[in-house]
A = this chain, B = another copy of it.
Amino acid sequence: MEPVSTEHVTAFRRFNRYLTRRIGVLDDHYLGQDRPLGQARLLYEIGDGASLRELRVRLGLDAGYLSRMTRALEAQGLVRTSVHHEDSRLRLAELTPAGRDEVGEQNRRADALAERLLRDLSEDQRGELTAALGTARRLLRLAGIVIERVHGASADARACLDAYAADIDARFPEGFDPTALVRPEEVSGDAGAFLVAYEENRPVGCGALRTLEPGVGEIRHVWVHPEARRLGLARRLLDGLERQAVEHGLGLVRLDTHAVLTEAQAMYRACGYTQIPRYDDNVYAAHWFEKRLTDGAVR
């Protein structure tokens, strides 16, 4: 891993310092009106309803503390609680109309604050700012995603593959038959690898590597959750799979793609893959690629 140069660290910290000075302080106190911060945040987080358990985890609060705050909001008529239908240990919280008003007011104030901040810029400059913040957010999100190797039969792996299958079933004109997916044992242990990308502990992408023949691997099922697209995550997954291939002694990797996945093809080309003739009988494939990973290896 290349070291992070101080230039970038400094730039990042400078920006944070500036932004917190400029808005962070105002933000909380101003937006929460005269309501305590904790309550304001809780109100906001309840949103369209959530169980206390969920809220506890999301906000990282002590159970007792949360219980009391919820009761306080209830006493103010902003929140209504009820018992979960199926699991009566769980308590659900939802906003009353008054609570919704309150959150709406919070949002209006935040908007007004942002608007006041942007007002003195020209429309061009606002566009430039929006673009810059978009880029920054995209990169920070990408930086926050961790990729881990999991067993092909793990719950997260299955969840990703299910989402992947549903996704391409909708995109391939001929649909997609889930039995064409890799079997868990093909992508686990010495046979291959399965990578899952996590954003804030939620799986948002995956990729599989299996062995085609000695020294030759195949990359399959590179998928990114719709909400995590356009971040550059697919490249990172591909990168991770290639590293896995090398570790598995697979100096050459191949992959195929469906005709409709044109962005994927462009990505593979950009990552050093070259088109080759059909190497399998995958009915969904229209293009085949390969990439040599280890130098000097003679086949």
Spell out A's residues near B (CB within 8 Å). Answer: 1-2, 4-9, 11-16, 18-20, 22-25, 27, 60, 110-111, 114-115, 117-123, 125-130, 132-137, 139-146, 232, 236
Q: For A12, list chain B residues within 8 Å (CB).
A: 114, 117-118, 129-130, 133
Chain B residues with Cβ below 8 Å from A13 are 110-111, 114
With a cutoff of 8 Å between Cβ atoms, the chain B residues found around residue A142 in the complex are: 120-121, 125
In the complex, the answer to whether B129 meets A140 with C-beta atoms within 8 Å is yes
- Knowing A16-B19, A16-B23, A125-B142 touch, does A4 contact B135 (C-beta < 8 A)? no
**A30 CB, min distance to chain B CBs, angstroms:** 12
B130 and A133 within 8 A (CB): no
In the complex, the answer to whether B128 meets A139 with C-beta atoms within 8 Å is yes
Beyond A12-B130, A22-B144, A132-B135, 15 additional contacts (C-beta under 8 Å) are: A8-B129, A9-B114, A11-B133, A13-B114, A15-B133, A15-B137, A19-B19, A19-B137, A24-B24, A117-B143, A117-B144, A120-B145, A121-B143, A125-B142, A132-B139
Copies assembled: 2
Q: How far is the CB of A50 from chain B (nearest CB, A)?
A: 16
The reply to whether A115 and B24 form a contact with Cβ atoms under 8 Å apart is no
CB within 8 Å for A139 and B117 given contacts A16-B27, A19-B16, A132-B132: no
Query: Assuming A1-B119, A118-B143, is B135 touching A11 (CB within 8 A)?
Result: no
- CA A24 to CA B111, docked complex, whole Å: 20
- Nearest chain B CB to A37 CB, angstrom units: 12
A118 to chain B, nearest CB (A): 5
Q: In angstroms, how far is the closest chain B Cβ from the Cβ of A59?
A: 9
| A112 nearest in chain B by CB position | B9
The chain B residue sitting closest to A235, CB to CB, is B122
Q: Once bound together, how far apart are the Cα atoms of A58 and B280, in whole Å?
A: 69
For A146, list chain B residues within 8 Å (CB).
Answer: 120
Assembled-state Cα–Cα distance A132/B135 (Å): 6
- Whether A11 touches B134, Cβ cut-off 8 Å, given contacts A4-B118, A16-B27, A20-B24, is yes
A126 surroundings in chain B (CB, below 8 A)? 4-5, 8
In the assembled complex, the CB of A270 is this many whole angstroms from the nearest CB of chain B, namely 13
- In Å, the complex CA distance between A137 and B232 comes to 24
Query: How far, in whole Å, are A15 and B23 apart by their CA atoms in the complex?
Result: 12
